[in-house]
Structure 1
Amino acid sequence: MSTTGKEKLIRYFDGIAKKRDIWKKRNRFYNNAIQEYFAFIIPEDSNVVELGCGTGDLLNAVKPAVGVGIDYSRNMIEIAKKKYPHLSFVHDDVASIDILQKFDYIIMSDLLSSLWDIQKVFNNIRKLTTSKTRIIISSNNYLWEYILKLGEILGLKAKQPLQNWLSVNDIENLLKIEGYEIVKVEKKILLPKYIPILNFVFNKVLANLPIFSSLSLVNYIIARPIVKEIQDCKVSIVIPARNEKGNIENAIKRVPAFGSDQEFIFIEGNSSDNTYEEMLRVQKSYKDKDIKVFKQTGKGKGNAVREAFDKAAGDILMILDADLTTPPEDMPKFYNALIKNNGEFINGCRLVYPMEKEAMRFLNYLGNKFFGWFFSYLLGQKLKDTLCGTKVLFKSDYDLIVKNRKYFGEFDPFGDFDLLFGAAKLNLKITEVIVRYRDREYGSTQISRITHGILLFRMSFFAARKIKFRI
């Protein structure tokens, strides 16, 4: 960018600095909505840097443990320092900042429209990231360009210098060139002014529905750096079991060797076929394996998985259902997808390959298809099979899910949705590994189509309220 062009932008933002908060008050509904959504995305006590921080309101709203704001307007920075002395503010150009600190979250709110070289900025901020960093971008939908210009003419919003108007695809392309990938995109706000009743209809309901959402004013883009760091890790393979005596030994025999070390955790849930005794026998018979055996203290698979995860010593946590309908031989696929950073939450998918005749009943198959579509819509990431029991993630990410579990509460007896919702709330990249679903060789299914189906629908609408609509 030419010096003259940069100076014009700096003069503009320095000149508007004292009036910035006045304009924000005039449009407080819009600005509050932006702050609320960022606070929803970013867990409290995270390490956060905001690029183009202005007077610091958004950075303060996310309640960071460490908060750093950067802006090339000296006047904006001086105001921010006075308003929020507990945060750090730096007068610098985001295209050339030289900070060695790493952050959990990088905020870029309404910034891309004012940058001369967006790609250069994406390249420069790489030094601020780790493999776990999330970049949160908010930008205005280009369909609103002339509506917003009219707002400036009518004095409803501050006049802006010449702006960049980018589509989501434009932003995705720039991110991809610099080694980032989009985790998910959310579209919000159809009505940027508060009007009772209409606000609920347009912003809480319509803005979250397909087709209508594409007309929303704000695009929220959550991205992550692509880092290919391959390092072997210790694995904890959790095998929850109830009335699965005939499958216990095969679970050990059929899991291939992978990872730097393996730990098997059997957790038994009130069986009537001596499953617990079989677990103890297998533990004694395979002394070359690190096998631990526990009885769950509560009820349901979800409780069993949580209790086993709390006892796990591995860097990676894996769930292998004791019915072995997901072949144990496929577990290395999940491990490799995780350590190669192809995803951060690896979910099994049984709905691609043809199934053995009795592997999944027809109504179960239809239910899986529906929930796959519905949760893709809710979570903003593509999913085919939400109900596959095999799920894999790093223990450090699971610990964060536990830390933030209070948002959803203890609502899931199955355990699948507790993990899926928690991963989505943390903006983890969800990736599916395709497996061949087999008919069980021992025992019978413990799923009740009617009772469990009703429960799944209830949890689905609970998720819609807490994640998508936030009513």
Structure 2
Amino acid sequence: MNKNEHQWRTRYYNHLFERFFQFIIPPGASVLEISVGIQELKRQEKFDFVLLPNVIGSLDDVQKCFEELHRVVDEQSRVIITSYNHLWSGVLRLLEWLRLKTAQPNQNWLSSQDVVNLLSLARFEIVKRGAFILFPIYVPIASSFLNKYLARLPLIRHLCLVNYFVARPCFNHYSDKEYTVSVIIPARNEAGNIENAITRLPRLGSRTEIIFVEGGSRDNTRDDIFRVIEKYKDKKDIIFVNQGGGKGKGDAVRKGFARATGDILMILDADLTVQPEDLPKFYQAIRTRQGEFIMGTRLVYPMEKDAMRFLNIIGNKFFSLAFSWLLEQPIKDTLCGTKVIFRKDYERLAQNRSYFGDFDPFGDFDLIFGAAKMNLKIVEIPIRYQARKYGSTNISRFSHGWLLLKMTVFAARKIKFI
């Protein structure tokens, strides 16, 4: 093999690594790459991302290295670790002998669970993990198919050359801080639920701001919002936002978020099928940093009769499996309306929305995909899903189900098959 061919094939392997990191790390982020351990690192600067590309296999003390990372991270930092799959040990030795790979000393050959355990001991928590590179040598057409598509499939991905881990530091001292909260309530044809939403909503954090976003109602929803604003003006901080010509819950949520002033943003559906009394659970989960994007799940506890139709349950279970695979984080219920995120994280999500585009009229996928792309820790809280007491659902099972399926395929192209 001549020198140029050797360089050409090595470039392909490096290209796969560069593409992986470019997908995870947004432009403008501060990055520290550690290639020989952190023992001699003198810097006190904090970084958005700390990379350990194929380093841990040659370290004498992996746990100590992970512990030292706390010197260069804060609560929003992410640590990205890659390591070779031990199933490839014989193949890698052959590639080194063929000079297709730089020779390395004996490796630790840690399993994925070993890495997760060592991170936990060093006070880091896994956000997501996965694998890539099924075929590290460039062969026209074949390499692209194997690495872009086949390597992403269940079972086959366990055969990939490289395992990766995205972790976040655990900071327990944030648990005592209180935050202001904005609760966004999109409301369309929900006149019978407006006052109940106000009276049943507990106080959250140091201040609770309630924002109704209304547009296109055929009943007196808007009039009832103004009525409760006047009635509770001395007790509650209530704001009305006119959705105007916008359509869909997603547009209403975005307009509500744009108006919100709270540190934490919450969505509560005006049908009250998720009980307002459950919102303190969501507040505590995000306040104590148990998660950074909190969602409700309706598929744990038994539901009230007629709360969800059978076909809707089947659809939700399908989307939960699809999303768990797409996002490499366990997701049980994608379409529960209650979602919670820090405003500063939402603002970053909105700035990078162009990656996916304006494709989601519901708003659920927009937030979930954005949170996953930002490597936020996603946590689900079980809630007891209630039957609607007033009005009828604004969702069409078949037309909206088909739209959700198309959005899932679109997301697979943007997240999985890259």
Scaled by the length of structure 2, the TM-score of the pair is: 0.96
Moved segments of 4+, more than 2 Å? 21-26
Between the aligned partners of 1:153 and 1:166, the Cα distance in structure 2 is 22
Q: Does 2:238 match 1:291?
A: yes
- Deviation track 1:294-315 (CA, whole Å, cap 9, x = no partner) reads 1113111000000110110000
Map of 2:361 onto structure 1:
413
Between the aligned partners of 1:170 and 1:427, the Cα distance in structure 2 is 21
**Which letter does structure 1 place at the counterpart of 2:344?**
S
Map of 1:77 onto structure 2:
none
Q: Does 2:164 match 1:220?
A: yes
Between the aligned partners of 1:24 and 1:163, the Cα distance in structure 2 is 24
Q: Does 2:316 match 1:316?
A: no
Tell me which of the two structures has the higher relative contact order, counting C-alpha pairs closer than 8 angstroms and 6 or more residues apart: 2
Which SS does the other structure have where 1:443 is aligned?
coil
**Identity of aligned pairs, percent?**
54
Among 337, 362, 376, the alignment partner of 2:310 is 362
- Contact 1:318–1:390 under 8 Å retained in 2: yes
Among 295, 304, 310, the alignment partner of 1:347 is 295
- Contact 1:100–1:127 under 8 Å retained in 2: yes
Q: Does 2:145 match 1:197?
A: no
Map of 2:390 onto structure 1:
442
Q: Which runs of 5+ in 2 are unaligned?
A: none
Q: Does 2:405 match 1:422?
A: no
Among 270, 279, 303, the alignment partner of 1:331 is 279
Deviation of residue 201 (structure 1)? 2.5
Among 67, 87, 96, the alignment partner of 1:123 is 67
Map of 2:34 onto structure 1:
51
Deviation of residue 159 (structure 1)? 1.4
Between the aligned partners of 2:130 and 2:360, the Cα distance in structure 1 is 25
Residues 198 and 25 of structure 1: CA distance in aligned 2, closer, same or farther (over 3 Å): closer
Q: Does 2:203 match 1:257?
A: yes
Deviation of residue 26 (structure 1)? 4.3
Between the aligned partners of 1:218 and 1:355, the Cα distance in structure 2 is 42
- Deviation track 1:428-461 (CA, whole Å, cap 9, x = no partner) reads 0000000000001100011101100100000010
- Contact 1:242–1:275 under 8 Å retained in 2: yes
Between the aligned partners of 1:225 and 1:23, the Cα distance in structure 2 is 39
- Contact 2:53–2:82 under 8 Å retained in 1: yes
Which SS does the other structure have where 1:321 is aligned?
coil
Between the aligned partners of 1:360 and 1:239, the Cα distance in structure 2 is 21
Map of 2:184 onto structure 1:
238
Between the aligned partners of 1:389 and 1:27, the Cα distance in structure 2 is 47
Residues 24 and 42 of structure 1: CA distance in aligned 2, closer, same or farther (over 3 Å): farther
Between the aligned partners of 1:23 and 1:97, the Cα distance in structure 2 is 34
- Contact 1:23–1:158 under 8 Å retained in 2: no
Deviation of residue 95 (structure 1)? 2.1
**Which letter does structure 1 place at the counterpart of 2:168?**
R
Between the two proteins, the alignment pairs up a number of residues equal to 411
Deviation of residue 25 (structure 1)? 5.0
- Contact 1:24–1:31 under 8 Å retained in 2: no
- Deviation track 1:60-114 (CA, whole Å, cap 9, x = no partner) reads xxxxxxxxxxx5xxxxxxxxxxxxxxxxxxxxx6124232111111011111122
Map of 1:112 onto structure 2:
56
Deviation of residue 350 (structure 1)? 0.5
Scaled by the length of structure 1, the TM-score of the pair is: 0.86
